[in-house]
Structure 1
Amino acid sequence: MAGRVVSRLAQLRRTAGYTQETFVTAFIQEAARLGIDASVSVRQVRRWERETPPPLPHPSQQIVLEAIFGVPLAEMGFEVPPHRVTIAAPVGDSGNVKRRTFVADAGLLAGAALVGARSGPRVGTADVARLRAELDGLYRTDHTAGSVPAMVQASAIEDEITGALGTASYTSRVGRELQTMLAELHGHRAWYGYDGGRIDQGRAACMEALAAAQLVDDALLQVSVLETLVLLAIKAERTWEAASAVENAYRLATRAGAGPTVRLVISLREANVATHAGDLSAARRALSRAVSHQGRTDADTEVPHWARFVGPFEVDYATADLYVRAEQPKHAVPFLRAAVRGIGGDLARNSASYRVKLACVLLAAGEVDEACGEMRGVLDACGGISSPRLLDKIREFERAAARTDSADARDCSERIRETVQGGAI
């Protein structure tokens, strides 16, 4: 038995990457952009695509349909009465005709809607799935091997995505996915700038990521960029910018209906800003909010990939930072020990960073032997991790140990110099 003939409207819809359900959403959005009071239901779309001839859309629906597909209503398979036929003529020559006009032949417009002007290869959902897997793999590389090798991988993925966006043929849905991934890649580059001490480059990447995330209207993706911008702004001594990023992150999280995990990340960044500014009361309030959010994360059903790193250990680490800022290293030590115990083994880079922080605070608290023991453990475990920020922290410990009147501290400093010169970090 011969298969059912696919209507012209159904062909246009599928080529544009819509299901009947998503087309209804796109129709409503386009009507809002045009300022037209028009709507459509899935049931009506089905009638348009199934019946021969299909029921004629209302005049307001006609305007929206022609705006979405870029072809006259008659080219969509409808029988259009003469007084509603859209003409193809220059707008300036339309005279008394107030209906929409097209500046090119209808057949050319139909071809453009179906094929696009690009001459490159076709990019489909399978390509998007592969690129998504590679993009998600950047988290693993960064956490286990450091930001330097992750940056190399990110550059290769970015080249492929920008090449596809610029030259390939794809549906609107695939195009949006590619743009979303590009925004995420800019966010990764922002983090690599922070980890590598290239603060200006990191901030520039943040601006690119924010613009790209706004273009795809992804509020949670914007939050992920803003939480990195907070860290970069603090390093750049732009506390006002960091505070503004926190406020905007809270606003976007509310708009997106974000759960407690995302809000936990934001409250921790708020604590970072307040601690850096020396506003310890505000830092305590932010940490109290973080504890409250942490207690509700178990019920969080949808957590963005970028927020999955957070946990109780981050709260303990931020609390220790508060005590360090208050020049009370002995009070910071138990929180850092808890953070080191609590961080997952798959977060090798962060685990090493936490241990270096603990060693530095132990040294400041006068626990020299324990501090050096902790640092030796880091040096034994962090081979293969390439992270400039981690290296800077290790060197900071070395400088502090060199000022300590202790043979153990001097031996540990020598061990650090040998390790660094040998390129093990």
Structure 2
Amino acid sequence: MTGRGVKRLAALRREAGYTQRSFVTAFGREAVRLRVHASISVRQLRRWECEDPPPLPHESQQTVLEALFGMPLAEMGFAVPPHRMSVSAPVSDAGEVKRRTFVADVGALAAAALAPAGPGPRFGSADVAHLRGRLDDLYRTDHKAGSMPALKQSRRLEEQITNALGNARYTDGVGRELQTMLAELHGHRAWYGYDGGCIEEGRAACAEALAAAQLVDSPLLQVSVLETLVLLAVRSGRTWEAASAVEQAHRLATRVGAGPTVHLLLSLRDANVATHAGDSSGARRALSRALRHLGKTDTDVDVPRWARFVGPFEVDYATADMYARAGQPRRAVPFLRSAVRGMGGDLARNSASYRVRLAQVLLTAGEVDEACAEMCAVLDGCGGISSPRLLAKMRAFQRAAAEVDGAATRACRERLRETVRGSRT
């Protein structure tokens, strides 16, 4: 082991953006993800980086290091004995090494085997973490600015993920993370199809997302796609398909022991299906189940990112929807008001959508002035949101308001015309 080799691990750590302390934390997280019993301390990391020769990591530590950096241990500057390392060339051309494939020892190193991808640059856990952060940003963009800006971001991200999968070199663990993110991304695209009114595109994205989630063996990810498929199926009038999708989602969620938040969301999808099918009794039963699950969400310690938005206001909104579709707008109004009040400020797109729904129901209930005031309040605050579904709701209110003559409705219709025209430019 030379002095130059000793510095290699420290250089790799700094290139990945870690301090010594943050690397120890990342090491622990990666060990948990790989289900490997391994840990390190800052003191041990300093020995690896500074001593010449450094102590050889244990096999379990080797597994985690190779997953984090996406390369064999020997290339990190350690002197690795032959039984801990094996490198081979492609058998199709023994005279020319087109790529290096790291053949891991069967057993502890299996989780860190290098996938036989292209001969491009290495892709490690730090790169995955960067892409994961951008994937998580899609939720924030969609909630605050709407599905159209999020769709643009998702297209760029999908290109990067597929490029990495097809051209980079990475461990099996990193490859699985990339495929999982691609499955999640297809799920996002399914939602954008729903929000954008592109139902067939949304259904196609659902099919891709379900296939990808099955390939990485992620039942919870399948559940997230199925709950979006419920919305798409309801929108296209396929209530039988929506019912089957939510039933399958319930089975998968139960099988993997999902928490009450996931079951709350699925109960609300149940209520949605029953409401659109005209089954008031079924909707009431589903809402009753939702309330039971809602009472347990305080103890839910592991809520998937895609289910974190759900809360009491969603139960109120579903209850209001049931009454409104049953021709009882006055009974729906207090639930919609409660839903609007209970929504967090970080859900701007949903908040605007709920308030437009409240304005629609108020108008139907004969509360014209209040309905117009509510709609104008939405128009005051939704300038930065790009959501075709929200715009469609505004147009629906505009058409309904045209049938009610009055100063308030005339002023509101004029503002809506300006908003609709602006959305086309």
Separation in 2, partners of 1:20, 1:183: 22
Separation in 1, partners of 2:92, 2:317: 62
| Structure 2 residue identity aligned to 1:300 | D
Q: Match for residue 408 of structure 2?
A: 408
- Closer, same or farther: CA 20–358 of 1 in aligned 2, 3 Å: closer
1:100-115 equivalence runs, <5 A: 112-114=101-103
1:235-250 equivalence runs, <5 A: 235-250=235-250
- Closer, same or farther: CA 419–169 of 1 in aligned 2, 3 Å: same
- Closer, same or farther: CA 139–103 of 1 in aligned 2, 3 Å: same
2:205 is the counterpart of 1:190: no
1:45-86 C-alpha deviation (Å, 9 max, x unpaired)? x89999xxxxxxxxxxxxxxxxxxxxxxxx9849xxxxxxxx
Q: Match for residue 148 of structure 1?
A: 148
The Cα of 1:285 is off from its aligned counterpart by 0.2
1:326-368 C-alpha deviation (Å, 9 max, x unpaired)? 1000000000000000001110000000000000000000000
Separation in 1, partners of 2:231, 2:263: 16
Structure 2 SS opposite 1:284: helix
2:349 is the counterpart of 1:375: no
Separation in 1, partners of 2:378, 2:274: 29
Unaligned runs of 5+ in 1: 4-17, 26-45, 51-74, 79-101
Separation in 1, partners of 2:284, 2:135: 36
| Structure 2 residue identity aligned to 1:160 | Q
Separation in 2, partners of 1:414, 1:378: 14
* TM score, norm. by length of structure 1: 0.75
| Structure 1 residue identity aligned to 2:151 | M
Unaligned runs of 5+ in 2: 4-29, 38-57, 63-80, 85-90, 104-113
1:195-236 C-alpha deviation (Å, 9 max, x unpaired)? 000000000000000010111111111111111000000111
Q: Match for residue 221 of structure 2?
A: 221
Separation in 2, partners of 1:328, 1:178: 48
Separation in 2, partners of 1:284, 1:117: 52
Q: Match for residue 338 of structure 1?
A: 338
- Closer, same or farther: CA 168–409 of 1 in aligned 2, 3 Å: same
The Cα of 1:418 is off from its aligned counterpart by 1.6
Q: Match for residue 39 of structure 1?
A: none
Q: Match for residue 317 of structure 2?
A: 317
1:64-75 equivalence runs, <5 A: none
Aligned residues: percent identity?
A: 68
- Closer, same or farther: CA 248–104 of 1 in aligned 2, 3 Å: farther
Structure 2 SS opposite 1:309: coil
RMSD of the alignment, in Å? Answer: 2.9
1:274-285 equivalence runs, <5 A: 274-285=274-285
Q: Match for residue 398 of structure 1?
A: 398
2:219 is the counterpart of 1:212: no
- Closer, same or farther: CA 274–112 of 1 in aligned 2, 3 Å: same
- Closer, same or farther: CA 254–23 of 1 in aligned 2, 3 Å: closer
Contact 2:329 2:364 in 1 (8 A): yes
2:139 is the counterpart of 1:139: yes
The Cα of 1:419 is off from its aligned counterpart by 2.1
Q: Match for residue 270 of structure 1?
A: 270
- Closer, same or farther: CA 23–148 of 1 in aligned 2, 3 Å: closer
Contact 1:383 1:424 in 2 (8 A): no
* TM score, norm. by length of structure 2: 0.75
